[in-house]
Each structure stands twice: as C-alpha cells, then as structure tokens.
C-alpha cells in the first residue's frame, strides 16, 4: 500500500516538474502543493473553466494635474 502511494506521489511530482508556471517552486513547495491536490471527476460535457471578459482598468486623475504628453494635450494612456 505504501509503495503504491509513493509511486503515485512520484508520478504527480514528475508532472509538476513539467509545469512551467511551477518551475520556480522548491521541492518542498511542490510537495505541499501535491498534498493540497484533490482528484475530482467530471461528467463528459461539464464546463470546468469559464472564460469571462477581463475588466479594463480605469485611470482616474484630476484633469488640472494630469500630465500631458499626447496630441492636443491629451493625458497619457495607461498601458498594461
């Protein structure tokens, strides 16, 4: 039983090592993540992830003190 559990942990650890987003995690951090994972099964056709529109940032400034550097003294645009 213990060997089977260790084998599962090793397989998941190998998978986590291939995930670029997790590349900077230490071994201990990956093991804590592994401990927190929970297997979930979904029926075919079930939506698991839903993409929603990303809200645009709102830049509020006082028109009198806003810096200008564009045509017609327009305030600069916020770039992300």
Report the alpha-carbon distance of residue 71 to residue 26 in Å, rounded: 49
Which residue bears the tokens 């995690």? 25
Question: Do the beta carbons of residue 34 and residue 12 sit within 8 Å?
Answer: yes
pLDDT tens per residue, range 26-75: 889 988 988 888 888 999 999 888 888 877 776 665 555 555 555 566 65
CA 2, chain centre distance (Å): 33
For residue 23, the model assigns a pLDDT of: 87
3-state secondary structure 13-34: HHHHHCCHHHCCCCHHHHHHHH
Q: Is the pTM of this model over 0.75?
A: no
- Segments making up each domain of the chain, as ranges: 1-38
């Amino acid at each position: 039983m213990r060997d089977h559990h260790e084998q599962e942990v090793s397989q998941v650890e190998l998978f986590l090592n291939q995930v670029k987003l997790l590349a900077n995690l230490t071994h201990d951090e990956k093991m804590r993540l592994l401990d927190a994972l929970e297997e979930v099964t979904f029926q075919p056709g079930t939506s698991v992830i839903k993409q929603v529109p990303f809200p645009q940032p709102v830049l509020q400034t006082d028109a009198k003190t806003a810096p200008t550097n564009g045509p017609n003294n327009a305030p600069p645009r916020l770039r992300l």
